[in-house]
Amino acid sequence: MSWKISKGELIMANNNIKDNHTITKKDLFETFVYSNFQQASFNYERIHALAFCVDMIPTIKRVYKTKEEQVKALKRHLPFFNVTPGLVGPVIGVTMALEEARAQNKNVDEQTINSLKIGLMGPLCGVGDPLMWGTLRPITAALGASIALSGSVLGPLMFFVSFNAVRLALKWYGLVYGFKQGINIVKELSGNFLQKLTEGASILGLFVMGVLVNSWAKINIPIVVSKTTNPTTGQEVITTIQNILDSLIPGLLPLGLTFLMMYLLKKKVNPTLLIFSLFGIGILGYWLGFLGK
């Protein structure tokens, strides 16, 4: 993480934003509500900068009294800004505390505010994208889909509620945490905490998806190997390839197919091509008789 200001300046600025808060809980809640529209003004020139300006409106109106000061403070947040929306809370919270300190004529300048925002973008994007889009959303979607497969309408509802419950909690508590911690948040994020968090989330995601493989992926090979008669009941007993595989390792074929897809994805094979290939193999296999329901 690189900074345009010295460590001494960071410590001095942090000492100046600890007390005398004029920002109210109402301001925090309004900011939290605004932060949920982070993507509303997305553009490739500034990404989330305009949304960040909107997020800062309650703070700027609270701490700056004249229109000229408010306009100047708002323009300060127009440069490029990009953080995973679910984890933008800490950045907004710290910036609120810094703007409040600057309005109180404390030793916080524009360079401190802008440098802190820039410095936090990289680490939070680095952990935010795999945490939100690579772990949380696939897990909640998979759990919801597994319920939907049974015909229950609770499946999509569970996905919507569970994903947004975590997302909103991260936004709110991240906002409050960043506001209370101030620049101390740099110490929390500068170590290997984010790396451990990312690794832990990835392991959890892989574990959950691995459990769901056997429930989702169904492969049946109904090719008959032998036909015998049960001497007790006199009924015909049919043994298929699938019966033999299930007696050895249940779920072996779905697991093998999963590993094959992972291997092909690592080799940069187009995911869309793989999906349509599986459709084609399934239809052809059922028509030829070597794949069953």
Q: What is the percent of the chain where pLDDT is above 90? A: 25
With a cut of 50, say whether residue 5 has pLDDT above it: no
Q: Is pLDDT at 78 greater than 50 in this prediction?
A: yes
Judged against a pLDDT cut of 80, whether residue 7 lies above it is answered with no
Distances in Å between the Cα of 156 and the Cα atoms of 132, 138, 140 are: 18, 13, 10
**Among positive and negative, which fits the CA dihedral 11, 56, 181, 175?**
negative
Q: Rounded distance, CA 75 to CA 96, Å? A: 15
Segment 82-108 mean pLDDT: 87
Q: How far is residue 132's CA from residue 138's CA, in Å, rounded to a whole number?
A: 9
| Tokens (6 digits) for 92 | 């907004």
Tens of pLDDT, residue by residue over 259-291, are: 898 889 888 889 899 889 989 988 998 888 888
How far is Cα 201 from Cα 84, in angstroms, rounded to an integer? 16
CA quadruple 63, 7, 177, 128: dihedral, nearest 10:
110
